[in-house]
Amino acid sequence: MSSTTDAPTDPPIVEAPEHTPFSSMLQRFDRAAELLGLDDGLYRILKEPERELKVAIPLQRDDGSLEVLSGWRVQHNSAMGPCKGGIRYSPHVDVDEVRALAAWMTWKSAIVNVPFGGAKGGVCCNAREMSIKELERVTRRYTIAIMDIIGPDRDVPAPDMYTNEQVMAWIMDTYSMHQRHTVTGVVTGKPWGLGGSMGRREATGRGLLTMVREASLVKELDLANARVVVQGAGNVGATIATLLDEIGVKIIAISDIDGGLVNTGGLDVPAVVAHLDKNGSLDGFAEGERCSNDELLELECDILLPCATENQITSRNADKLRCKIIVEGANGPTSANADDILDANDIFVIPDILANAGGVVVSYFEWVQDRMGYFWDERDVNNRLHRLMQKAFRRVLDRTKSSAVNMRTAAYMEGIDRVAYFTKMRGIYP
């Protein structure tokens, strides 16, 4: 009796995938921690989320059918104060994405020096295809599921992708009903009149405007003659496009989830936004030529604002970008693998954890106003936002010079250094 065995063969060559959002965050965290000389104990504490909660959310559809959705809330770090971070409804949500977003919120809050830690939540669902009643059912059931770990002194959610003021109102109401009294401070991004702050809806876009102005000064770019491309036409993208248009900056392209719209002579931004508000899409807008989102990123321009979602700029397309400045309106739009390519091409990147921190700044303002029961006017909110964002930009820029690093690494160093200080001063209990 004889037997044979297969001859050994080399494993197939598989192209390495781009890093996941959380591994990209860790890669950048590791570099900043090494440059800071962070000790091993603090390193272990700061890299790990403090708490992760996965929940099952039963949903009864309008037609009576039942399904179960998955949801998460991740609290990354609370050394500086209550955790803070948005809730997104997306079919692409998973725990890796939520972990990364929670960590980015930790560093973001620290960079702008507001007393919050970092958290994030999400429900894996297609909100675009759900009715308003289905969205309300999902929101209230998700709120009940995470209610034991949120609260104005513990963890304060906010809007994110495919959530809005109405969703925040449902969360606030559900939480308040179980507390037997109104608790406006449990979420931010609420409607005005229910404890919301003036200027909150436009806050991320207004913060980006400060970043664009500061970056233009650094790179000696005349904004009056600049050409700007905006990827994403949601709240953030539409707001920054509108604000730039109002000060005379030419927007040559903008996109939604289905593709881009290009007009090298400059888009009529108010008309584009009105069309989006009416139709929910760029489809059918007559001015300009259509392009894909990939093509939009590669347009020749002075400033690129990726305001859509994660991993839009990767090692596969970073060397094709033809911009001078990138201001990241979305969370994680650039993979860690793309950073060195952008540096080699002398593209000045204002990273997400600095650039889009306007949302958490005005969320902080809203939280403060809720606790005082006294609300500021919009001009006051916007002026305070501009001052905090400008100070944060200049602190990070100073660190680029003192540590000879790019803006992303400097931002991570700034955030990690501050959270490490709070952790060390508080000590380990017990």
Are 288 and 299 a contacting pair, CB within 8 Å? no
Of 6, 87, 2, 18, the closest CA to residue 333 belongs to 18
Contacts of 144 (CB under 8 A, 6+ apart): 174, 178
Output the tens digit of pLDDT for each of the chain's 430 residues. 333 333 333 333 333 456 688 998 999 999 999 999 999 999 999 999 999 999 999 999 999 999 999 999 999 999 999 999 999 999 999 999 999 999 999 999 999 999 999 999 999 999 999 999 999 999 999 999 999 999 999 999 999 999 999 999 999 999 999 999 999 999 999 999 999 999 999 999 999 999 999 999 999 999 999 999 999 999 999 999 999 999 999 999 999 988 999 999 999 999 999 999 999 889 889 888 999 999 999 999 999 999 998 899 999 999 999 999 999 999 999 999 999 999 999 999 999 999 999 999 999 999 999 999 999 999 999 999 999 999 999 999 999 999 999 999 999 999 999 999 999 999 999 8
Residue 18: its pLDDT value, please?
65
**∠ at Cα 360 (358, 366), nearest 5°?**
105
Are 335 and 18 a contacting pair, CB within 8 Å? yes
Catalytic site residue from 120, 190, 250, 324: 120
| Rounded CA separation 239/243 (Å) | 6
**79, 393, 412 from 115: Cα distances, Å:** 9, 18, 17
Are 383 and 358 a contacting pair, CB within 8 Å? no
Instruction: Dig out the tokens for 154 from the structure.
Output: 């513990």
Which class for 6: exposed (0-12), middle (13-18), buried (19 or more C-beta within 10 A)?
A: exposed
Which class for 429: exposed (0-12), middle (13-18), buried (19 or more C-beta within 10 A)?
A: exposed
**54, 55, 265 from 95: Cα distances, Å:** 8, 11, 43
Q: How big is the chain, counted in residues?
A: 430
Integer Rg of the chain from CA: 22
pTM of the complete model: 0.92
Residue 8: its pLDDT value, please?
37
Residue 258: its pLDDT value, please?
87
Q: Helix 378-403 crosses helix 95-111 at what angle (to 10 degrees)?
A: 90
What number of other Cβ atoms are within 10 A of residue 259's Cβ?
Answer: 16
Query: Tokens 């890093």 label which residue?
Result: 19
| Rounded CA separation 229/215 (Å) | 15
Instruction: Dig out the tokens for 388 from the structure.
Output: 């905090």
Dihedral in degrees, nearest 10, Cα atoms 410, 339, 350, 232: -150
**164, 185, 223, 346 from 249: Cα distances, Å:** 28, 37, 6, 23
Residue 309: its pLDDT value, please?
87
3-state secondary structure 345-410: CCCEEECHHHHCCHHHHHHHHHHHHHHHCCCCCHHHHHHHHHHHHHHHHHHHHHHHHHHCCCHHHH
SS3 of 415, please? Answer: helix
Strand bridging mode 348-350 / 83-90: unpaired
Query: Tokens 């037609």 label which residue?
Result: 63
Residue 19: its pLDDT value, please?
67
| Rounded CA separation 135/147 (Å) | 18
Which class for 52: exposed (0-12), middle (13-18), buried (19 or more C-beta within 10 A)?
A: middle
Residue 15: its pLDDT value, please?
37
Instruction: Dig out the tokens for 223 from the structure.
Output: 């904004």
Domains detected in the chain: 51-186 (3.40.50.10860), 203-355 (3.40.50.720)
Are 86 and 120 a contacting pair, CB within 8 Å? yes
Of 52, 362, 36, the closest CA to residue 207 belongs to 362
| Rounded CA separation 316/390 (Å) | 33
Give the rounded distance of the alpha carbon of 288 from its chain centre.
Answer: 29
Bridge partners for 205 per DSSP:
none
**46, 78, 414 from 40: Cα distances, Å:** 10, 19, 18
Are 269 and 251 a contacting pair, CB within 8 Å? yes
SS3 of 414, please? Answer: helix
Catalytic site residue 120?
yes
